[in-house]
Chains A and B, each alone.
Chain A
Amino acid sequence: MGNQSCVKILNEWDIVAARQLGRNVAKELGFGTVDQARITTAISELARNIYLYAGQGQICIEKIYDGGKAGLKIIAADNGPGINDIRQVMEDGFSTSGGLGAGLPGVKRLMDEFDIDSSPGSGTDIIATKWLR
């Protein structure tokens, strides 16, 4: 697939690499500065979650076209411990690591579409999409 590029998240600096990739793709697609900031922040959150909780994983950025619309899809996948209660992590202020607990619900608000698939022991897959308006 020529529309997809991926960054492996193995250490903290890979978060920066993933972010940079996302920003470049967003720029190519013609997103404005505000949406670029939203997309890079969302990627930053997802990549940091992978680094913090799963240890390692992958962030893929994909250009998508649906009818006349163009968009950017972030796919964050890891084989980490998974999430016990998805409803709980989507609540503002819930964190197991003493953080702000705004990460996942924040990403959902930053992006247009948000889909999470996770169960304990089988890793986590998150797909978030932003459409170009």
Chain B
Amino acid sequence: MENLILEYIGTKKNEITSEWMEKMRSRTDERALRLVSDDMFERTSGEFVELMISNLKESKEEFNNRLTDFAEKVVRLGWPLHFVIEGLQTFSKILWEGMLRQGEVHEGNQMDVIYAFDRWLSPLQNEVVDNYSRTWERTVSLQKIALQELSAPLIPVFDGITVMPLVGTIDTERAKQIMENLLTGVVKHRSEVVLIDITGVPVVDTMVAHHIIQAAEAVRLVGAKCMLCGIRPEIAQTIVNLGINLNQFTTQNTLKKGIETALEMTNCKIVKVEGAN
């Protein structure tokens, strides 16, 4: 039955290709068209049809090998997934209608042809979806690792003074890391004062505040003091509105002022060298 389809494609390849491109262009919504430029569309759709056909030509064993290959190539074309799936569906529809018109498909072999289509196209679709999702999963997990790497660094700036700048959203995962890094760092660097800078934290809600308060309490237990700086005016207002009590904190609006205060607390001072210009 596969041969029947193959023969038909062999004789009508150009017509099928152009009809497919025509249909895809008229069918795609605006979103997909913006993502796929005209020039790229011309170039890659030829390749796509070529791939579809070559897939059918191969023997059963090679078919499976080619499948992965095909899916990888399609992913590399960079099309949106729904566009590729629609492409596959359109392709089979054109083929089916064409064969019906030619009389290749008649009532006698109708079911057989349908099954042959299914044997050919279902694995293709599955493999493509599988490949796409694997690519995404990879990206997501890589980004997660990248995010973790810049999660909560602790930077020693002076003797006994360390700074932890926080940037971005704080979720439960990060809150845990902040706590761990803070405590191990305080012990390791023998810090007396730790400054937590929240200039880069977009929203301070009760959860974030709660985590910071807990971290500060833990820091106090290991014998250091915690200072909160980088509180922007709008954040200060929301903290007051929320009724969060930060009384046990020394707070400063900038990291600069925070470090000055920290120096005072450790009985240090930065002085200009006299005579230098």
Is A41's beta carbon under 8 Å from chain B?
yes
Closest residue of chain A to B207, judged by CB?
Answer: A48
Partner of B243, one of A40, A44, A48, A102: A102
Chain A residues, CB < 8 A from B206: 45, 99-100, 102-103, 106
Is B172's beta carbon under 8 Å from chain A?
yes
Is A16's beta carbon under 8 Å from chain B?
yes
Decide: A41 and B207 in contact? CB cutoff 8 A.
no
Number of contacts between A and B (CB, 8 Å)? 66
Decide: A12 and B172 in contact? CB cutoff 8 A.
yes
A58–B242 CA distance with the chains assembled, in angstroms:
22
Is A110's beta carbon under 8 Å from chain B?
yes
Partner of B169, one of A16, A37, A41: A16
**Best-buried of A34, A92, A105 by chain B (most CB within 10 Å):** A34
Is B209's beta carbon under 8 Å from chain A?
yes
Known: A36-B234, A38-B237. A110 touches B202 (CB 8 A): no
A110–B169 CA distance with the chains assembled, in angstroms:
20
**Chain A proximity mask over B239-276: 1 for CB below 8 Å, otherwise 0:** 00111100000000000000000000000000000000
Decide: A99 and B238 in contact? CB cutoff 8 A.
no
Size class of the contact patch on chain B: 20 to 34
Partner of B234, one of A13, A34, A44: A34
Decide: A41 and B171 in contact? CB cutoff 8 A.
no
A33–B237 CA distance with the chains assembled, in angstroms:
11
Is A73's beta carbon under 8 Å from chain B?
no
Chain A residues, CB < 8 A from B209: 100, 102
Is B210's beta carbon under 8 Å from chain A?
yes
A86–B11 CA distance with the chains assembled, in angstroms:
75
Partner of A37, one of B171, B210, B235, B243: B235
- Beyond A40-B203, A105-B243, 6 extra complex contacts between A and B, CB < 8 Å: A16-B169, A41-B241, A44-B205, A45-B242, A100-B206, A103-B205
Residues of A at the B interface (CB closer than 8 Å) are 12-13, 16, 19, 33-34, 36-38, 40-41, 44-45, 48, 92, 99-100, 102-103, 105-106, 109-110
Residues of B at the A interface (CB closer than 8 Å) are 169, 171-172, 202-207, 209-210, 213, 233-235, 237-238, 241-244
5 A–B contact pairs at CB < 8 A? A38-B237, A45-B205, A100-B206, A102-B206, A106-B241
